[in-house]
Structure 1
Amino acid sequence: MKKALMLVLTGLAVSVATSAWAEGGSAEAGKTKSATCAACHGMDGNSVNPEWPKLAGQHESYIVKQLMNFKNDERVNATMTPQAKPLSDQDMADLAAYFSSQAVKPGEADQAKVTLGEQVYKGGNNASGVAACAACHGPTGAGNPASNFPSLHGQQTTYVKNQLMAFRKGERANDAGKMMRNIAANMTDAEIDAVAEYIAGLK
């Protein structure tokens, strides 16, 4: 019980701090500053390359946190780390305001995999200790900005798979209280693949 409480408090502390930092972002200024981002993430935040995430409709606080993490080497990516390094607090707030104001375009799921994906997303896997994704990210994948849990619906399948694999291997470690690492560690390749497909089709 103590461990669970600490995880919740840690997540809340991060979300409060990040939300406060992101206040005052200008979507108009962010649109101007997003020209470099558009090469990978699309002009409106809807990337066309499955390797790169859609940013459209993502919570401001989550976008700011990820940019902070890239800048501070808490999350490492050969492309994003050097992009984030020169950004100021205001730049991050403005970019977050712009991309969060855009509408995410729905993705398409592989219908042969969505049954297992839905099962894991909504109910987890009690036998292996995999928690239901919906517990944090919501039944429609809208996420929870108050707890800094990202929106997932319509996200690129390949990107989601890659991130779950990275959490499972410990290559990505910017999750509060190791929440995602602990969940992904117990997921099979088939479950990761299916969940990613199911998430892509969520609206």
Structure 2
Amino acid sequence: MKIWALAAALAFAWLASPASAAGDPATGKEKSAVCSACHGADGKAIMPAYPNLAGQHASYISKQLTAYRDGDRVNALMSGQATNLTDEDIEDLAAYYASMTKHEGVASEEDDLALGRDIYRGGITAAGVAACSACHGPAGEGNPGASWPVVSGQNAEYAADQLKYFRSGERANDPNSMMRGIAKRMTDAEITAVTNYITGLHAAP
């Protein structure tokens, strides 16, 4: 099945599935003190290797925290932090960060910006890589029903690391290997270009 068709089929399946219980943002704020040490009190990461969480879809945050807790996604720092989280904790934290205003990023003035735009909007036809916008949307706002993340304004370093983890198989919590199938067809230069582009996607030409 082509990547485009698979993406559409998965989106329909997830959109038709029951939604997870909504968390309480106020309670999530009370539980976020430890999180803010890395992700910032305002949901903006303190280091470019960490993800910004402000304005991210609650469904995506919930999915990733559950994956860290249950061992489906492994990271030395996050796996330890998530170990003792209950389902309620996860939903509350997800609701809190989703309620924040998303931070805008700025793409670096590099020669690869045009390449990144082309990949994001049109994919890499020769390598069989679908356009990122097919799942993450023209403005990088993702799809909450499918638990596909907001990518616009995300830290380029963090996003590039994740694509490389998908490519190597170190990260493998993507349904039906969608992201692994895409990333393994991308070079380092292409990954750098597209993640640079999405950082400033809100303002990119």
Name the TM tier (shorter chain): over 0.9
- 2:32 is aligned with 1:73: no
2:182 match: 183
Cα distance change of structure 1 residues 92 and 142 upon mapping to structure 2, 3 Å threshold? same
1:24: how far off? Answer: 3.0
Cα distance change of structure 1 residues 102 and 152 upon mapping to structure 2, 3 Å threshold? same
Letter matched to residue 52 of structure 2: K
Cα distance change of structure 1 residues 76 and 15 upon mapping to structure 2, 3 Å threshold? farther
Count of aligned pairs between the two proteins: 201
Alpha-carbon distance between aligned partners in 2 of 1:118 and 1:6, rounded to the nearest angstrom: 23
Q: Quick one: which of 94, 105, 111 aligns to 2:92?
A: 94
Alpha-carbon distance between aligned partners in 2 of 1:15 and 1:68, rounded to the nearest angstrom: 19
For structure 1, the 5+ residue unaligned runs are none
Matches within 5 A, 1:33-182: 33-112=31-110, 113-182=112-181
Whether contact under 8 Å (1:47, 1:54) holds in the other structure is yes
- What is the Cα-based RMSD across aligned positions, in Å? 1.9
1:192 match: 191
Q: Deviations over 1:85-126 (max 9, x none)?
A: 100111001000000011121111122221000000000010
Alpha-carbon distance between aligned partners in 2 of 1:34 and 1:164, rounded to the nearest angstrom: 27
Alpha-carbon distance between aligned partners in 2 of 1:4 and 1:134, rounded to the nearest angstrom: 11
Q: Using the aligned pairs only, state the percent identity.
A: 49
- SS of 1:79's equivalent in the other structure is helix
Letter matched to residue 116 of structure 1: L
Alpha-carbon distance between aligned partners in 1 of 2:5 and 2:64, rounded to the nearest angstrom: 24
- SS of 1:46's equivalent in the other structure is coil
Alpha-carbon distance between aligned partners in 2 of 1:134 and 1:9, rounded to the nearest angstrom: 16
For structure 2, the 5+ residue unaligned runs are none
TM-score by length of 2: 0.91
1:48: how far off? Answer: 2.5
Whether contact under 8 Å (1:152, 1:199) holds in the other structure is yes
